[in-house]
């Protein structure tokens, strides 16, 4: 369980292609305080620490995870938003995030407004029921607030406001039109949709 508050930007030190993809990720975290088997969200995907070396930890990324996430994240030199798992008593500064990626979205517009940017993300149509103005969404592991939503027959677009603080402390500041992001819908929206569907007999 996570909150979507990014606490470090890691860099893929090396990639090892084996049965599962193994990534070594450089981090500023004190790894003496990171247990083997600990969960770390890596640009939105919950992954398990399987090994450690000087200044880096290793995770195994299954074929299922690779197929459901942004492929560019899993290569040498890729920069990843990192968050360690939520502990009891920690401040819940974002929203409840599971680290289970629902879809890959594409940045289709980025416009400067004042000191911030209005960013539009396009996602598959089946996520439309889970996106609402002023609701929450997780992009590459960062908790963000949906500003506006626009629907069409095949796709849905939504916007969020990228403030300077978020731009500086996450990978979102470097994102450009055409870049892809891992998308996780809000957990509460997921359950409400399920309950509504069952109530209607669908």
**Average of per-residue pLDDT across 18-42:** 97
Handedness of CA 67, 73, 77, 81 (dihedral sign): negative
What integer best gives the mean pLDDT of the chain?
A: 94
Split at pLDDT 50, 70, 90, the class of 176 is very high
Domain range 8-84, its CATH number among 3.40.50.2000, 2.40.30.20, 3.40.50.80, 3.90.190.20 = 2.40.30.20
- 3 state SS for the chain: CECCCCCEEEEEEEEEECCCEEEEEECCCCHHHCCCCCEEEECCEEEEEEEEECCEEEEEECHHHHHHCCHHHHCCCCEEEEEECCCCCCCCCCCCECCCCCEEEEEEEEEEECCEEEEEEEEEHHHHHHCCCCCEEEECCEEEEEEEEEECCCEEEEEEEECHHHHHHCHHHHCCCCCEEEEEECHHHHHHHHHHHHHCCC
Q: 172 to each of 40, 141, 149, 158, 180, how far by Cα in Å?
A: 19, 10, 20, 16, 11
The per-residue pLDDT for 197 is 75
Flag whether pLDDT at 102 surpasses 80: yes
The per-residue pLDDT for 178 is 98
Fold agreement between 8-84 and 103-199: yes
Give the pLDDT confidence of 42-78 residue by residue, as tens digits: 999 999 999 999 999 999 999 999 999 999 999 999 9
Split at pLDDT 50, 70, 90, the class of 85 is very high
**Average of per-residue pLDDT across 147-166:** 95
Which residue ranges make up each domain of the chain? 8-84, 103-199
- Which DSSP letter does residue 2 get? B
Give the pLDDT confidence of 130-141 residue by residue, as tens digits: 999 999 999 999
**Average of per-residue pLDDT across 18-38:** 96
**Average of per-residue pLDDT across 95-112:** 96
Instruction: Write the CATH number of the domain with boundaries 103-199.
Output: 2.40.30.20
Question: Could you give the percent of the chain with pLDDT greater than 70?
Answer: 100
């Amino acid at each position: 369980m996570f909150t979507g508050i990014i606490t470090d930007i890691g860099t893929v030190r090396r990639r090892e292609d084996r049965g599962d993809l193994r990534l070594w990720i450089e981090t500023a975290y004190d790894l003496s305080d990171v247990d083997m088997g600990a969960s770390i969200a890596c640009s939105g995907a919950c992954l398990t620490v399987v090994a450690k070396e000087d200044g880096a930890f290793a995770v195994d990324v299954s074929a299922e995870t690779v197929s459901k996430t942004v492929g560019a994240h899993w290569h040498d030199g890729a920069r990843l938003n990192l968050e360690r798992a939520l502990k009891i008593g920690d401040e819940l500064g974002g929203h409840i995030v599971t680290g289970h990626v629902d879809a890959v979205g594409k940045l289709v517009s980025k416009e400067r407004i004042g000191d911030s940017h209005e960013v539009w993300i396009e996602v598959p149509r089946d996520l439309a029921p889970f996106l609402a103005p002023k609701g929450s969404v997780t992009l590459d592991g960062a908790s963000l607030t949906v500003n506006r939503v626009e629907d069409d027959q095949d796709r849905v677009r939504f916007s969020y406001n990228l403030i300077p603080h978020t731009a500086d402390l996450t990978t979102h500041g470097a994102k450009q039109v055409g870049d892809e992001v891992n998308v996780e819908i809000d957990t509460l929206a997921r359950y409400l949709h399920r309950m509504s569907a069952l109530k209607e007999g669908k």
